Structure 1
């Protein structure tokens, strides 16, 4: 019996039908794994539950230490040690909240609500996250989940924002050309003005659109403060429209009731026709 290995010519090649079958099976397995991963529980939910449990344990240990103090008229070492351990555990669980990336929009909303519930008591406990760093972390979560939060389609405000960014770059290029670029610079300025007015009437359905409207609102406020008298009133209206659109998108993202959180004081629902979420963000 020959022990020689078969050469490539001697090895039976799989047919096209067989290769297609193998490829489809491989693709199906990959798709199934991805679906299972996507369908898995959002890790932020477990992190929230860990902190909720740790916070409850801390409050119970603190109550026990207080009762021991009242009965004995002094500190009980065991009760104080339990209280300190529980305090450390809740701080670690709090920090872990912001080290965990939500994988779903629902998870992010749950995190926002949980942080709102506990921030006042936790920010003074010595955790490594300050209020500023918490907001920065949340912004990163929003950016990472942009597709889930607002869908894959670009909202109108995002499209206009992209054109504004391109136009701004063109303006700076023309400005560097000095006198030779004056005509082009004037034309670009007119385009930027038109786009700025247009985006103020759009409704943000994605983070890029919100950023574009925020830039336009910032520029409009500067015009109100430092611009010509005839430009101030239109600029104020433009800034207001942009901010109302951003507020609507933020309320939709976080689940905040705008009327129940002081928004009606300056943004009455009776005049705020921009406060309704755009179809792209639904």
Structure 2
């Protein structure tokens, strides 16, 4: 059975490139998802994945399917939405998620409108859902560079990111400027990785590989280091199984990976050793 699963990766180069891209993305997306979860900002990743679309669309209109132009445009658009949401929240006393909701819906509509000015339906679907099986060497280098940079920044600023994630208010009281810097840098990393993922998974699917393994990992452990490792491993496992499933069942690769991650999430919600429904039910029975 295991040999049957890896046959496609052994025989076809484009399957190996797709797998490497997903494994590299899992290394950086899953830890960022864990920190978003700890900050109670799980849906912010989804909002930002929509927010990058106008910038991607502008890059597409100016340079066609240029990875550099679309990536740079998406990063600028996502960062503008992230910073604008924080500013609106501070100026109006609205919750930051409310500001995100208002901005990302408009960004999504604007992005689809801009793409439709020049594209056909195939191009629009490529931007929204990616083209994982068409990953080339340039895309792999782009994804690898962003994943490596993300891991390096997390390693260097790990203590600050963790502290700001667990107790942002206390951090702000003692060092407001440093807290703002850490928050801004973290959001920039999130946007950067969503931009890296849009080429292979699309703007709508990338957030699935970011948040689903992170939430699933939270169901199995309370220790942050272990949680980060489990999230990465679950993301990689979902990538391997999802790609194999897409190949043998002839279904889109990106949705197959996210559906696999969803199945892992549901299993973890039911049977996770820390947050699982059945595990908690047993604990309550034994305690009574």
Larger radius of gyration: 1
TM-score by length of 1: 0.23
Higher relative contact order (CA 8 A, sep 6+): 2
TM-score by length of 2: 0.23
